[in-house]
Amino acid sequence: MIAKEIIFEGRVQGVGFRYTVKDLARGFDVCGTVQNLPDGSVKLYLIGEATEVDQMIHEIMGESNVAHHIRNSIVRDAAIDHSCQRFSIIR
């Protein structure tokens, strides 16, 4: 199991980005959260097997209907939250 934190920058708020990411998460064996940040970026926190996490990130940045809104992304390793059981949007 691994955990990643990804910050997406660009026109990623107000375009359905979080809802698209949540829908994509249904197709992967991951848990985590996605939330808007005050600076206009979006933070994604993912936990899962490395292949699942990497494939989901690849899908968001390359093939999703919101990929063209991403100007920059910052991917970092993160601590695993062992209490995580599902994927949710933080409002």
Condensed to tens digits (0 to 9), the pLDDT of residues 14-31 reads 999 999 999 999 999 999
* Structural domain containing residue 21: 2-90
Give per-residue pLDDT as tens, 38-90.
Answer: 999 999 999 999 999 999 999 999 989 999 999 999 999 999 999 999 999 99
Alpha-carbon gap, residue 82 to 38, rounded angstroms: 27
What CATH number should be reported for the domain holding residue 44?
A: 3.30.70.100
Residue 47: both structure tokens together: 């936990």
- pLDDT at position 37: 98
- The number of folded domains in the chain is 1
72 strand-pairing partners: 9
pTM of the model: 0.95
Question: What single DSSP character describes residue 74?
Answer: E
Active-site amino acid positions:
18, 36
- pLDDT at position 63: 86
